[in-house]
Amino acid sequence: MGPQDVLALLFGSSLTIIVADRLGRRLGAARAAGYVTVAALTTALLMSSSLPSGRYRPFPATGIPVAELRVDEASRIFSLLFTSLGLLVAIYSLKYMEGEEGLGAYYLLLLLMVAGMVGVALSNDLFTLYCFWELMSVTAYALVAFRWWHWEPVEAGLKYLVMSTLGALVALYAISVIYGVAGTTNFDELRSIFATLGDEGVVRLLAGLLLFGFGVTAAIAPFHTWLPDAHPAAPSSISAMLSGVVIKAGVYAIARALLYILPPTSGIGYLLMYVGLLTCTVGNLAALRQLDVKRFLAYSSVANIGYIMVGMGAGYRAHLLGLTQFALAGVAGAMLHVINHALGKGLLFLCTGSAIHVIKSRAIPDLEGCGRSMRITGISSAIGLLNLAGIPPLAGFWSKLLIAYGLAGLLWDPLITMALIVFIANAVLAAGYYIYLLMRLFRRRATGAGEVSPLMWGPELALAAACLILTLLLSHVLVHVYTGASALMGVVG
């Protein structure tokens, strides 16, 4: 069994959804499409959890050197993250989206979006990656604008479409330049070609273009402006997907391109780090004054992408200087933070979805006290908030510590010392507003709003438990994350 089977399963089941939806509606089983999605994602999750590492050619007969797939620790971690969050969101949607128009389309788009992301994580050449990238993006626009009869989602979806397409165009341009220079788009071949190319200018240009292009989806500042509109406007289940994993696909593409394909070049590490610092500062500051809880979470997602970029930048710089230990720490910290933020932010969006479902408002003052009246949602969101605030001993603390450790290894460099200070100041600021939100959710006495259905709190509880399990099994998780980091950078740790 290989990665092509996982992708085939996802695409195959998307056809089944259409049939199931039609049949279901005729027989009065409105959830049929949802059940098919859940089943497909469960199977995909089980399959992708045991993929053996290696390179795969799904179409061996053609002899065309494109469409190659790869499995290593990094792509396995990312694809597992994508499918598992997709599965939980699908379960959540069974109840949350009940009674909406066009559920068949909703589940079809959701499944195709997961397929696109998994494809991004599993492809081994830039062209395949680009195709899956577009699949993911197009389905994401449609999902943001899913409630098209409202004005807000349509505007947000359009904005997302314009910005993201512009980014994708730049990325496509970069890929074509790469093909022009190297004559191939295969990751491993590119890696060896660029390692011996010796033309630093081309490498710098390509790194800049790829960061510019993929950076829009990853929401790094100043290309993040679509995100605070798109994430709140989407249905909460889709917000969980977007903030939880879709922007992480952007992170994955950047990491794969800059850390694996292109050789380390001076200056790019700083660029990543400072773009990251700008991103987290802008995100944190903008989040501070939000009254809309989903906008608040959206800006905090921008900030968290910033931390991840800082970790990658530190790793990049340390790798360039040959300090493998710190390089691994930085990138592993970034990856651990990807996992933490995917679980934590997915959890928080699902929880706010439940709260909004009951209270019918997105304003933080209206949500006061719902942490007490909605017991399970309240406790789960508390765990998510504490995890993202980086309160020890939760995993969110360790990922930031690892990133700071990666920076600390280069502390003799004044630019890095400054970066570390800004990074820590940001972490403190963020912890402050997460705790502030937590306080507001729990401050008042219960409001009388009841708990939601188990189909909705089940996924929340699962994600909260995942945050705790991540902490308890930290040593095992760290082993995987370190292996993933060394696979991403192509170094032996």
**Residues that bind other proteins in the complex, under the rule CB under 8 A:** 158-159, 162-163, 166-167, 170, 201, 204-205, 207-209, 211-212, 215-216, 221-223, 225-226, 228-229, 267-268, 270-271, 275, 282, 285-286, 288-289, 325, 328-329, 398, 402, 405, 429, 474-475, 478, 482
CB 115: neighbour CB atoms within 10 A?
28
Least distance (Å) between residue 413 CB and other proteins? 15
CB-based contact 309:332 (threshold 8 Å): no
Q: Between 11 and 270, whose beta carbon lies closer to other proteins?
A: 270
Of 134, 133, 128, nearest to 186 by C-alpha is 128
Least distance (Å) between residue 221 CB and other proteins? 8
Least distance (Å) between residue 122 CB and other proteins? 28
Work out the burial of residue 180: count CB atoms within 10 Å of its CB; fewer than 13 is exposed, 13-18 middle, 19 or more buried. Answer: exposed
Interatomic CA distance for residues 46 and 250, integer angstroms: 24
Q: Between 62 and 325, whose beta carbon lies closer to other proteins?
A: 325
Least distance (Å) between residue 429 CB and other proteins? 7
CB-based contact 306:220 (threshold 8 Å): yes
Interatomic CA distance for residues 227 and 231, integer angstroms: 6
Q: Please spell the DSSP secondary structure of 448-463, one letter per residue.
A: SPPP--HHHHHHHHHH
Of 268, 247, 274, nearest to 317 by C-alpha is 268
Least distance (Å) between residue 358 CB and other proteins? 26
CB-based contact 475:396 (threshold 8 Å): no
Work out the burial of residue 492: count CB atoms within 10 Å of its CB; fewer than 13 is exposed, 13-18 middle, 19 or more buried. Answer: exposed
Interatomic CA distance for residues 70 and 119, integer angstroms: 10
Least distance (Å) between residue 96 CB and other proteins? 26
Of 233, 15, 14, 214, nearest to 110 by C-alpha is 14
* Torsion-angle region of 234 (φ positive above 0: left; ψ -120 to 50: alpha; else: beta): beta
Q: Between 69 and 286, whose beta carbon lies closer to other proteins?
A: 286
Q: Between 170 and 441, whose beta carbon lies closer to other proteins?
A: 170
Q: Between 19 and 169, whose beta carbon lies closer to other proteins?
A: 169
Least distance (Å) between residue 489 CB and other proteins? 15
Amino acid letter for position 271: L
Terminus-to-terminus CA distance in the chain, angstroms?
A: 28
DSSP 53: S
In this structure, the chain runs to a length of 493
Q: Between 105 and 177, whose beta carbon lies closer to other proteins?
A: 177
Tokens of 357: 């479902």
State the sign of the Cα–Cα–Cα–Cα dihedral 455, 459, 460, 461.
Answer: positive
Q: Between 403 and 456, whose beta carbon lies closer to other proteins?
A: 403
Q: Between 275 and 466, whose beta carbon lies closer to other proteins?
A: 275
Q: Between 23 and 472, whose beta carbon lies closer to other proteins?
A: 472
CB-based contact 276:308 (threshold 8 Å): yes
Least distance (Å) between residue 315 CB and other proteins? 13
Interatomic CA distance for residues 379 and 413, integer angstroms: 43
Q: Between 96 and 397, whose beta carbon lies closer to other proteins?
A: 397
Least distance (Å) between residue 326 CB and other proteins? 8
Least distance (Å) between residue 56 CB and other proteins? 31
Of 321, 236, 232, nearest to 270 by C-alpha is 321
Q: Between 52 and 267, whose beta carbon lies closer to other proteins?
A: 267
Least distance (Å) between residue 480 CB and other proteins? 14
